[in-house]
Amino acid sequence: MIDLLHIRNFLDEATRAQLVAELHAAGGAPATVLSARAGGTVQAAVRKTTRVAVSPETRARVRQRLLARKPELEAHFGVAVAECEEPQFLRYETGDYFVPHQDGNTPMVWDESRFRRISAVVFLTQRSEDPGPDTYGGGELVFHGPYTGPQLRVPAAADPGTLVAFRAETTHEVTPVTHGVRFTIATWFR
């Protein structure tokens, strides 16, 4: 079983729309993968997406909302966490993806991510096979498991504004985007 927590309306429609407008207008740089180098490294064979540079006010507002949900996350997953990492505002365009990986809390990882206990993704745009404004195709958040027994691939369907949380050691991926732009926010609780 894959343990997921869906928090619907984590962002109300007005806040979500404002964020999407800011993300469309903002620049960014290729997102990195954690490594021994400070700040991580760009590894397009592993993670091809853009980390968007939002205003400090937006980062602070979103981080505050995330931290307000800490008790709910702790209760659901049965772990205590002290803090939330700086949220990453991500833009996946056609062809962008993130291969199957774990975010931390696993003996296979010995970088800073080993302290992560809970991962969270906030969906900002609607997944749809029919192209349209603020929709995208492909780009599914897919969970893999379990470690023993039959292999599972569980896509996480979520409406815009929904937060999906899961244990950081859960293997997951973002499949290649086929059309449109997928905007999400990712963060990790330690």
Number of domains in the chain: 1
**Structural domain harbouring 147:** 4-189
CA 161 to chain centre: 13
What tens-digit pLDDT sequence spans the chain (190 residues)? 789 999 999 999 999 999 999 999 999 987 877 655 556 676 777 889 999 999 999 999 999 999 999 999 999 999 999 999 999 999 999 999 998 888 886 665 555 667 899 999 999 999 999 999 889 999 999 999 866 556 788 899 889 999 999 999 999 999 999 999 999 999 999 9
pLDDT of residue 14: 98
pLDDT of residue 48: 92
Tokens describing residue 190: 């330690």
Look up tokens 């349209």; give the residue.
132
pLDDT of residue 38: 57
Give, in degrees to the nearest 5, the angle at Cα 22 between 24 and 29.
60
pLDDT of residue 114: 75
Tokens describing residue 151: 């292999």
* Residue 121, beta-bridge partner list: 164, 186
CATH number at 129 reads 2.60.120.620
pLDDT in tens, 153-189: 889 988 999 999 999 999 999 999 999 999 999 999 9
pLDDT of residue 145: 80
